[in-house]
Structure 1
Amino acid sequence: MTIYDENNLHIVSDNLRYLKLLSKQYPTISSASTEIVNLQGILNLPKSTEHFISDVHGEYESFTHVLKNASGVIKRKINDIFGNSLREEEKKKLATLIYYPEQKLDLIKQSETNLDDWYKITLYKLIKLCQIVSSKYTRSKVRKALPNDFSYIIEELLNEQADRVDKQEYYNSIIQTIIDIDRASEFIISISKVIQRLVVDRLHIVGDIYDRGPGADIIIDALSKHHSIDIQWGNHDIVWMGAAAGSEACIANVIRISLRYANLATLEDGYGINLLPLATFAMDFYGDDPCTNFAPRTIEKTLSDTDFNLLSKMHKAISIIQFKLEGQLIKRRSEFEMDNRLLLDKMNLEDKTIKLNGKSYKLRDTNFPTLSKENPYKLTEREECLIKKLRNSFLNSEKLQRHVRFLYNKGNMYLLYNSNLLFHGCIPLNKDGSFKEVLICNEKLKGKALLDKLTECAREAYFFKKDAKSKLYGMDMLWYLWCGPNSPVFGKAKMATFERYFINDKSTHKEIKDNYYNFRDDENMCIRIFKEFNLDPETSHIINGHIPVKTKNGESPIKAKGKLLVIDGGFCKAYQPQTGIAGYTLIYNSYGLLLTSHGPFESTQKAIEEGNDILSSTVILEHVSKRKRVIDTDIGKEIKSQINDLKMLLVAYRKGLIKK
């Protein structure tokens, strides 16, 4: 809608139909005027805090703790407010109480000798802290964040004025009454959760919630309760989305990865996927095969010999099925240009070799009882029956389907938010740094148009149930996004799964990264991307995940003079030996950008019992001289547009074009 001013009054008449609808919400001059004053005031509040997290890979304990402590923001607030008036041990206990109020209160009740006194002191501390973290928001917004049981009481206490002596008795009386009627515990739990909610206003997940760690489903349960969130899909999220849509190739990949990391908790306990048919099949066909190359990678886990052997056999069985299904898909989609991944027919089982790129390599394993020499990509009857059962299990998992719908509702291939461009992997580039054209739906696309089209295909895969052709193409595209050579979320020339299992020569295991990764330190590349996405190169940043930053080797997450930030630092325990840390998170508040690196997290139990927090160190990336306000944000643009509309409504009322 065109901005209204006194010189273009005709705009009011042109938009009269819309303004009549708006008048139903603001039926009088008074109500419209009040809202303009309110919105104008909001524009001058400090910008709210954003929290960026990437590549959590099912590590639900670490993720949950970082979410609760807001990457150390709560601890910093406690230090700022209480300074030297509290001992370090007291600050630690207060922080832990806010993170885990229910569990910490249970311990305190067992050890505290004067509980009423402790309640009174603690309530004053929590109220003081809550006053500070809520000060950048309107009363209306804070009110919406308050729990129903205590909303009135908390609001009264948050608006306590220290210089109003005549009200001190009133506030003291409220706190004492809360204790006297035995509601202090519930009140502490409620106000702790309000602090957690208000300290970070917006949460950005920059991909890869799934795989490797044991609790992706627990993470999504937590995310689905978050008040303000967006998700940029990672390749590990995409493959689960494909599995939930019914793609058999994606289903095989999801199961294979779960078996590779001995992580069946998400599949079986989280989503109720029945793996018994796969176990039976594996024992029937691989019972005498030690399946050494398919031994699960266990991290801090102990498996019995029986379980270890069974998982190895299941792992091999689903891998062979995966290679067959992928071969069928590659032949079906010649436009994917992935014939170099058709490897089953390149094996010579008689002399135990495979020919790749004109060179012969020794095979580590040649026991393939379900492989047909004439048609190696054809599933046997037993394999077809098995994959059909597994597909039905995925399609009929109510919780998985609900979680994937959440990923679709809150997710996208990329996000533009407050001058930042968020995406998980890369923007495909040519060797010279120009945007690479990729063939999608018989159309060559690049840059922003490519990501937009891929988003459309991903949605068709799940939601186009009546259009079988579009749905199949969408499902195949989800698999391509998982492992295809020009996939923005994968960003490599190949996924060398077959080579890692069957060939000792590690030169065949190499996965060449997209040219984007050669330009991540190039400021000019970032500027080209900003212009492609209509962002201001002077104020914008690219925020990436996907490729872990090897901090222990001296690699920095800050690229291209601060224009590109990589926040995958190894939440996943499998990556921590490579990175040397246990994850990065990014905070963007009204003062600027803060990058926090985290040490390993022991356990939730130790955090509760001993107050063990994640050891984090924070670097200030940018600090603005003038504090950013709502007017400087995307929400500010929306509010200014609303003010413009309301001003037109006032004119329509005053000119009699709309009756009050």
Structure 2
Amino acid sequence: MIDEQFLRHLSKDYPNINAACAEIINLSAILALPKGTEYFLSDLHGEHEAFIHMLKSASGVIHTKVDEIFGPDLSHDERDALAALVYNAEAELKRRKASERDFDKWCKEAIFQLVEICKSVSTKYTRSKVRKRLPKYLAYSMDELLHADDEANKAHYYSEIINSIVACGVAEEFIIKMANLISNLAVDRLHIIGDIWDRGAHPDAIMDFLLDYHDVDFQWGNHDIVWMGAATGNWACITNVLRMNISYNNFDMLEIGYGINLRPLAVLASTIYGDDPCEYFKPKILDENKYDPVDPELAAKMNKAIAICQFKVEGQRIMAHPEYKLEHRMLLDKIDYGKGTIDIKGVTYELRDANFPTIDPENPYELTKEEKEMLHSLEASFLQSEKLQKHIRFLYSHGSLYKCINGNLLFHGCIPMTADGEFKECTVNGVTKKGKDYMDYLDEQVRMAYFVPDESEETGRSGDIMWYLWLSNNSPLFGKDQMTTFERCFIADKKTHKEHTAEYYSLINDKVICEKILAEFDLDPKTSHILNGHVPVKIKDGESPVKGGGKLIVIDGGISKAYQKQTGIAGYTFIFNSRFMALSEHKPYEPLQEDGTQVFHTPKITTLETLPKRMTVRDTDQGKELEREVEELRALVNAYRTGQLKESF
């Protein structure tokens, strides 16, 4: 029973029977449409060009549409060129302008072809929804072209619109906007299952792109959470973020993209390590800096300086939080500074770099005065970076630790479990939780740590909870026994670098375990699926992304260039449309060449599951909401007809 007060509020939007019935008809029509296509990606790690290409190409679906529509009429090369126009319209226009003898004629043909593709990808939407995505000023002409039929009396009208677009000199803008519209309509909803930041050059460009995206949500990853902690000014998170990105030469992103002032760190590093080559701290250069190139030798010194600060600050956080049980990661006090060795779990290792001018052996976790001043300056940069704070707030408003949607459970890493397959009890902030309750509690505390730290249950420094989730063995975002950053920096023996994965990663090969997890999150174990990222799938070694008898799919295939040698591919996209679930397997992205050409590799798309019947909007979570709205509107109509409420005209 819907109460009268609610109906009175609803009547403000629908003041009479006609208005309410019109909306009932509209919603009922939407419910009968095919379900929109959802795309799932993970572990983008700053690879902005590859990521944007995946969306522009709809992970291979656009090329499939081109083949379906123009297969009989265009050659293979012509179809490739048409798909390339959708993927990167600006570059293809520039190339065509230089090579086509009659550029205007080519534009007319291109517009016609793009309209045909757009018609195909827009069939799942109401005309109203398509109109809402049309660009300002060009909306009228696009709408007319998309919805004009091919009757004889419309053919001339259709041609005149295209001729006028070219004659007015807006053909190039029209083509660019139409290409973008095609990509937007091909992907109805986008899910990013963690890790926007680190390793790759421009996570800031990814976030800028997504700020304007029509429908996106995030499930936070471990690399996201440490940036979220850094945005609170937490030193443990800031030092981790800077060490990682300096080690990958990401100075453009840090200083130009986010305006982080690294000069205090550069000055301190140059002063401390003037004659030290810092050989083992030289950055991996996957991408060149265009605007802020830093000498590799200086970068190595900066990397070492911030790493030492990290180990000091982390030691302080561990001592402040004995409940985190991270004492085994306090290593600076295990060093014999005279011999240049370290004792770890009863084994003595030689340090390959034993120059520690800023460490007091008697008090190894104490920051020097200069280090404290430098960290205060860096904290101010993070707190005052308008773009960073805007990106982080967007990550909060559109994100969460996990998400249940349309029968799929999305989370980045794992659910802490015991070896015998039970949900593990984990204690943080003095609170013990497990399974879904643990995830809900962590989500709540992460939000409070950023927005209302005084009201959170977090102790110590604001943002410590994010640092805990970055590296704790009880973190659902990390899922390993330890983070061996110190060992990788200072010990040659690679046995010490090993990070053992949590029990979850062996348990998920069992279908029963996957069904147990789904049931914990109130999903139907028989029909639902789990989607994870975090751990790259090594296809080249024969590993499968599909686990637990098809109940769980790991979609980290190595979009990051840093992982592609391990995986043998360059990322996955999981695609869920109205007919099937599929996995798109990508090859490495090739950037635009100096001559204006670009090679695009068509992904391999494998259908994982075909639905027993075509899924409509009515069958989705959104459909349940729309059906509720229809029920409320029917109650409103009844209230008008029985005289309970008075109509207004």
TM-score, structure 1 as length reference: 0.95
1:649 aligns with 2:629: no
- Say whether the 8 Å CA contact 1:346–1:355 is kept in structure 2: yes
1:312 to 276, 291, 300: 300
| Residue 169 of structure 1: how far off its partner (Å) | 2.2
- Which of 280, 297, 320 aligns to 1:293? It is 280
* C-alpha displacement of 1:615: 3.6
Deviations 1:16-47 (A, max 9, x none): 11111011111101111111111111111011
1:226 partner amino acid? Y
Counterpart of 2:138 in 1: which secondary structure? helix
Q: State percent identity of aligned pairs.
A: 50
Residue 566 of structure 2 corresponds to residue 568 of structure 1: no
Instruction: Determine the structure 2 residue equivalent to 1:280.
Output: 267
Q: Which of 244, 248, 271 is the matching residue for 2:235?
A: 248
Letter in 2 for 1:246: G
The answer as to 2:609 corresponding to 1:635 is no
Residue aligned with 1:587, SS? strand
Q: Does 1:422 align with 2:383?
A: no
Q: Which string of whole-angstrom CA distances, capped at 9 and with x for unpartnered residues, describes residues 199-238 of structure 1? A: 1110111111100111110111011110000011111111
CA distance in 1, matches of 2:375, 2:615: 54
Task: Give the superposition deviation at 1:128.
Answer: 1.3
Distance 1:423 1:391, change over 3 A: same
Alignment of 1:437-476 (within 5 A): 437-464=425-452, 467=455, 470=458, 472=460, 475-476=463-464
Determine the structure 2 residue equivalent to 1:230. 217
Q: State the match for 1:620 in structure 2.
A: 607
Give the aligned partner of residue 7 of structure 1.
Answer: none
Residue deviations 1:256-285 (CA, integer Å, cap 9, x gap): 101222222211121111111111111111
Provide the residue aligned with 1:585 in structure 2: 573
Question: Whole-Å Cα distance in 1 between the matches of residues 306 and 172 of structure 2?
Answer: 51
Kept in 1: contact 2:42–2:192 (CA 8 A): yes
1:557 pairs with one of 545, 563, 574: 545
Aligned residue for 2:329? 341
Report whether the alignment pairs 1:108 with 2:108: no
1:204 is paired with a residue whose SS is: strand
Deviation at 1:531, TM superposition (A): 0.5
Q: Does the 8 A contact of 1:459 with 1:474 survive in 2?
A: no
1:23-34 superposed matches below 5 A: 23-34=11-22
Matched, 1:367 2:366: no
Contact 1:412/1:455 (<8 A) preserved = yes
SS in 1 for 2:560: coil
1:391 maps to 2:379: yes
Give the Cα–Cα distance (whole angstroms) in 1 for the partners of residues 456 and 72 of structure 2: 66
Give, in angstroms, the shift of residue 54 of structure 1. 0.7
- The residue type equivalent to 1:132 in the other structure is S
What CA distance in whole angstroms lies between the structure 1 residues aligned with 2:492 and 2:144?
69
Q: Say if 2:282 is the partner of 1:266.
A: no
Q: CA distance change for structure 1 residues 305 and 614 in 2, over 3 Å: closer, same or farther?
A: closer
| Structure 2 residue matching 1:400: 3-state secondary structure | helix
SS at match of 1:148: coil
The answer to which of 395-404 and 115-124 deviates more is 115-124
The ranges of structure 1 where at least 4 consecutive aligned residues each deviate by more than 3 angstroms after the TM superposition are 299-306, 465-474
- Cα shift at 1:508: 1.8
* Counterpart position of 1:128: 116
Match of 1:92 in 2: 80
Output the CA distance in 2 between the equivalents of 1:120 and 1:615. Answer: 26
Q: Which moved more, 1:487-496 or 1:279-288?
A: 279-288
Q: Which consecutive unaligned segments of at least 5 residues does structure 1 have?
A: 1-10
In 1, the alpha carbon distance for the partners of 2:289 and 2:381 equals 28
1:150 to 114, 132, 138: 138
Change (3 A) 1:414 1:396: same
| Alignment correspondent of 2:25 | 37
Residue 309 of structure 2 is matched in structure 1 by 321
Give yes or no for contact 2:189–2:216 (8 Å, CA) kept in 1: yes
For 2:137 and 2:420, the matched residues in 1 are separated by 61
Return the letter of the residue paired with 2:441. Answer: K
TM superposition shift of 1:656: 1.5
Q: CA offset at residue 123 of structure 1? A: 1.9
Q: Secondary structure at the match of 1:51?
A: strand
- Tell me the alpha carbon deviations over residues 527-572 of structure 1, each in whole angstroms, 9 at most, x when there is no partner: 0111000001121111110000000000011111211111101111
CA distance in 2, matches of 1:445, 1:614: 46
Q: In the aligned structure 1, how far is the partner of 2:462 from the partner of 2:294?
A: 40
What is the Cα-based RMSD across aligned positions, in Å?
Answer: 1.9
- Report the equivalent of 1:71: 59
Aligned to 1:191: 178
Instruction: Measure how far apart 1:175 and its partner are.
Output: 2.0
Give, in whole Å, the separation in 2 of the partners of 1:474 and 1:272.
22
**Separation of aligned partners in 2, 1:575 and 1:134:** 36
Which secondary structure does the structure 2 equivalent of 1:578 belong to? helix
- The verdict on how the C-alpha distance between 1:256 and 1:539 changes in structure 2, with shifts beyond 3 A counting, is same
The residue number in structure 2 matching 1:501 is: 489
Equivalences, count: 646
Shift of 1:523: 0.4
Is the contact made by 1:65 and 1:604 (CA closer than 8 Å) also made in structure 2?
no
Structure 2: which amino acid aligns with 1:610? T
- Alpha-carbon distance change, 600 to 474 in structure 1, aligned in 2, over 3 angstroms: same
**Match of 1:357?**
345
User: Which one is further off, 70-79 or 172-181?
Assistant: 172-181
Distance 1:574 1:46 in 2: 39
The CA distance in 2 between the partners of 1:118 and 1:321, in whole Å, is 59
